[in-house]
Structure formats: structure tokens, C-alpha cells
């Protein structure tokens, strides 16, 4: 969807962003903006990756959380802070509170990845798990803040938080002054609102492309309706974008500053994660990979030339990463799974192994079954998962097995 920018929309003044940057100096990293030959070739645009996965706590969220907490007066600091988050904001607030010496409680959804829960507690936060998703955790956290007198630190619907995220936009402009396009992930909207505010306050005319996971699509319907649109449920591997409703304050800035809004599927996100890992040697979570996914899927404006893609975080659950790697390898034909039936006699497994080895393929796993229903007592099934060089190599292995007299049933998953 293409939107029409509105120069009269509310924003964050440049001085306020610059002050947030001065406050964060020494605690917030200036992250690299790396030109990628590989992704430039694959996407057909000059691609520069803004690596916020290398930020303190592994995501951009530290910027906004630290700015908010640094602005609290002594009395508010003594009462402590409370927040709700699916993971990255939780870690950002916990880290910021530890830097300033403020007690912190974080409410996270019961479905939050263990790695993010553990990391948040590791920064000294008291963690409470409540609700099925971010929205339910948010309701619990705001209730706790109201009853305790602690300051609630919202993950995105707060001007001080947005001003902190905006420091990322200033960095991008300094690192690549002549860019024409910035690609930004969107969950609650705080990051993209901050980047829009920074670009416009600094006088940049670069277009901003918003990217959401299609399992958490709130921006496109919000832009169509002209106000924040809520959805009943979210379903995406990009847990950092799993927000049921975009923030009111971010949306007021976004609707006047974003020129294009697109969506990507979980399959496209997973492929981007795998490609970033293999080609850029960069570990990225689902929310951080959506911008690259949009570029790879050809969803950038055709005239985008010099593009900064925000890699917003790298805190991916290792179990999910393992699944993504394996599914990606299967999809590319680099894991070939097949089953064959052989006589139940000594040496038959060795014959199958020798046939695969002759094709210079590496066996990943083997299953040898005698007791399958319907299998003759004189036969066994052998199933294998084989590492290959790609689809053509898999076809070569299948052909060799059939030529050697082994019937082959190819697993539909690969």
C-alpha cells in the first residue's frame, strides 16, 4: 500500500532527539550500517543493513527504554518501574533500570521464549508471566502499575520512548547521508515513528517503507481506516511484532510519514533469517528479518536505489532457529529424505549406505524399521535424511538408488 505523507502530522523535535542521544552516550552503541554485496545483488537495490541486533540487549529497544528511565525524577525512580513485553522491550527496560539503579518488574506473556525470559531476569528484573500474548500481559502490567504507584514504561506508545528510538534514525543519516529509502519493521510502531521523526526533523526526504508480518497485520487496516485498528489474535514467528493494535501516538506520526506499507509471510521471514545467517553471518530474530524478507520478495518501490534496512534485533529462540534452519535446508533441497524397502538380511543397510556414499552425499540420520503395520516379515524399511548440495544432487541420489534396485519413496517434506 502506498500512503501520502502529511507534513502537518505531529512529530518529535530534533533537539529532543539529540538530547536523548546525549543521555544515552556510553550506554547505547552506535551500531554498524553495513553494505551487503549479497543482498544488493539478490534484491536489485543497493542494500545497507543497520545492525541493531548488535545493540546492547540485542535490539533497538534499549534506546527508548533508557531515555524514558533517565528522565524520571528521584521520587519516581524510588517507586520503580513496570513494563510489559514479549521480550526485547523487557530486556531493554531491565538493562536501563539496572544502569540507573531503579527497581523493575516486567510482565511477559506465558508464551514468551524462554531465552528472552531468562535474559530479562539476568538483567535484574523481577519477571511475571501473565496472559497469552502481549496485549494480555499489558493489561496485567498497567493494573500492577496503577495499584503500586510505579511508573509504567510503555513499549511504544510514549513520546520519550519514541524519542529514544529516533536516535537510530539520526545514526542512519550520519552513516549514509544520501540514502533514499529506509525499510523498518513495525509492531507497535515506536521504532518507525522515531525514525520518521528523526528523518523529517533533520530535513531528509528519504522514503520510509513499513514492513509487518501478515500474521500481525495492524498497520495496513489502520492506514485504510485512518485510526489504529485492532485485531483479535496474532500468529507469527516474529514475536517482536506480535502486537494486536498499533500505538495511538506512533500512528499519528506514521500516517503522515510512511510512504509504503507491505507485509511478509512467516515462510518469507524464515528464508530471510536463514539467508542472513549463511550469507551475512548474522543471527537475526523474526522481527529483525522482515525488512530483508520484503526486499527479497521484491516489495520495495522499483526506484529505491540506496536503501537502509533496519535489522531491529537478534534475540531468536535457539529451538526456533534450529527448526528454521532445518526447514530451510529441506526447502532448498539440501536435506533429502527418502524411504526404501529391502530384504531383511545382513548387509542390506550397508548396500544402501554404499549407494548414497558413491554419490558423495553425507548421511544425517538413519531409521531402520522391522515392525511397521503391513510390512512383510521378510522385509524392513530404511529411511534416511541425507545432506546434499541441492535439488540436482538429490535427484542424482534418487536415480542411483533406483538403478541399484531400491524402490524410493521421497518424503513430501523434502
Region of residue 186 (left: phi > 0; alpha: psi -120 to 50; beta: else):
beta
pLDDT of residue 373: 84
Strand-pairing partners, residue 210, are 184, 261
Confidence of residue 87 (pLDDT cuts 50, 70, 90): confident
- Measured CA to CA in angstroms, residue 259 lies from 43, 249, 305, 345, 409 at distances of 19, 18, 15, 68, 50
H or E stretch covering 303: none
Confidence of residue 2 (pLDDT cuts 50, 70, 90): low
Alpha-carbon span 261 to 2, nearest angstrom: 6
Fold of 62-152: Rossmann fold (3.40.50)
Mean pLDDT of the residues in the chain: 93
Mean of the pLDDT values across residues 37-62? 97
Nearest to 189 by CA among 261, 131, 108, 140: 261
* Segment 275-290, tens digit of pLDDT: 999 999 999 999 999 9
Q: Which three cell numbers stand for residue 358?
A: 558413491
How many residues make up the chain in this entry? Answer: 414
Residues forming CATH 3.40.50.1100 domain(s) in the chain: 14-60+159-327, 62-152
Q: Is the pLDDT of residue 7 over 90?
A: no
Q: Which residue would you say has higher pLDDT here, 391 or 331? A: 391
pTM for this model (two decimals): 0.87
pLDDT of residue 411: 78
Q: Is the pLDDT of residue 14 over 70?
A: yes
* Segment 241-270, tens digit of pLDDT: 989 999 999 999 999 999 899 999 999 999
- Measured CA to CA in angstroms, residue 254 lies from 6, 199, 228, 244, 250 at distances of 9, 12, 11, 17, 6
Confidence of residue 223 (pLDDT cuts 50, 70, 90): very high
Q: Is the pLDDT of residue 412 over 80?
A: no
- Which letter does DSSP use for residue 351 in this model? H
* CATH 3.40.50.1100 at 14-60+159-327, yes or no: yes
Q: Of all residues in the chain, what percent carry a pLDDT higher than 90?
A: 84
Q: Which three cell numbers stand for residue 318?
A: 535457539
- Measured CA to CA in angstroms, residue 269 lies from 57, 191, 273, 321 at distances of 22, 19, 6, 12
Name 384's Cβ contacts closer than 8 Å, sequence gap at least 6: 337, 338, 339, 352, 356, 363, 364, 365, 366, 367
Mean of the pLDDT values across residues 66-80? 96
Q: Which three cell numbers stand for residue 12?
A: 518529535
Four-point Cα dihedral 148, 153, 156, 159, nearest 10: 110
Confidence of residue 113 (pLDDT cuts 50, 70, 90): confident
Alpha-carbon span 109 to 122, nearest angstrom: 17
Name 74's Cβ contacts closer than 8 Å, sequence gap at least 6: none
pLDDT of residue 36: 97
Mean of the pLDDT values across residues 221-248? 92
Superfamily designation of domain 333-410: ACT domain (3.30.70.260)
Amino acid at each position: 500500500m502506498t500512503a501520502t505523507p502529511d507534513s502537518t502530522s505531529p512529530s518529535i523535535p530534533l533537539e529532543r532527539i539529540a538530547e536523548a542521544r546525549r543521555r544515552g552516550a556510553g550506554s547505547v552503541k552506535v551500531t554498524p550500517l553495513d553494505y551487503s554485496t549479497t543482498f544488493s545483488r539478490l534484491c536489485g537495490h543497493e542494500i545497507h543493513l543497520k545492525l541493531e541486533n548488535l545493540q546492547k540487549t540485542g535490539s533497538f529497544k534499549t534506546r527508548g527504554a533508557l531515555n524514558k528511565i533517565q528522565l524520571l525524577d528521584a521520587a519516581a525512580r524510588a517507586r520503580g518501574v513496570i513494563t510489559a513485553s514479549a521480550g526485547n522491550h523487557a530486556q531493554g527496560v531491565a538493562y536501563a533500570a539496572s544502569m540507573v539503579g531503579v527497581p523493575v518488574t516486567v510482565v511477559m506473556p506465558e508464551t514468551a521464549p524462554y531465552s528472552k525470559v531468562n535474559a530479562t531476569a539476568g538483567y535484574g528484573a523481577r519477571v511475571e508471566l501473565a496472559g497469552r500474548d502481549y496485549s494480555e500481559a499489558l493489561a496485567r502490567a498497567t493494573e500492577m502499575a496503577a495499584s503500586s504507584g510505579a511508573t509504567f514504561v510503555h513499549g511504544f506508545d510514549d513520546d520519550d520512548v519514541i524519542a529514544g528510538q529516533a536516535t537510530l534514525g539520526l545514526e542512519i543519516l550520519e552513516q549514509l547521508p544520501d540514502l533514499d529509502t529506509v525499510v523498518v519493521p513495525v509492531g507497535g510502531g515506536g521504532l518507525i515513528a522515531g525514525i520518521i521523526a528523526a528523518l523529517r526533523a533533520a530535513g531528509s526526504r528519504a522514503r520510509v517503507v513499513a514492513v509487518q508480518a501478515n500474521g500481525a497485520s495492524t498497520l495496513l487496516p489502520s492506514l485504510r481506516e485512518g485510526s489504529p485498528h485492532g485485531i483479535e489474535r496474532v500468529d507469527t514467528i516474529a514475536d517482536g511484532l506480535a502486537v494486536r493494535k498499533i500505538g495511538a501516538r506512533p500512528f499519528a506520526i506514521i500516517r503522515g510519514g510512511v510512504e509504503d506499507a507491505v507485509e511478509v509471510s512467516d515462510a518469507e521471514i524464515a528464508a530471510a533469517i536463514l539467508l542472513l545467517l549463511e550469507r551475512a553471518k548474522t543471527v537475526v530474530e523474526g522481527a529483525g528479518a522482515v525488512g530483508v524478507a520484503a526486499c527479497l520478495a521484491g516489495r520495495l518501490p522499483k526506484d529505491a536505489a540506496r536503501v537502509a534496512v533496519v535489522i531491529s534485533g537478534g534475540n531468536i529462540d535457539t529451538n526456533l532457529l534450529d527448526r528454521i534452519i532445518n526447514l530451510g535446508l529441506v526447502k532448498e533441497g539440501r536435506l533429502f529424505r527418502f524411504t526404501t524397502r529391502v530384504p531383511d538380511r545382513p548387509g542390506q543397510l550397508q548396500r544402501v549406505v554404499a549407494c548414497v556414499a558413491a554419490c558423495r552425499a553425507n548421511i544425517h540420520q538413519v531409521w531402520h524399521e522391522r515392525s511397521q503395520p503391513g510390512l512383510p516379515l521378510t522385509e524392513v524399511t530404511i529411511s534416511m535424511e541425507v545432506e546434499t548440495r541441492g535439488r540436482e544432487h538429490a535427484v542424482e541420489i534418487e536415480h542411483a538408488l533406483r538403478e541399484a534396485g531400491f524402490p524410493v519413496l521421497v518424503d513430501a517434506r523434502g
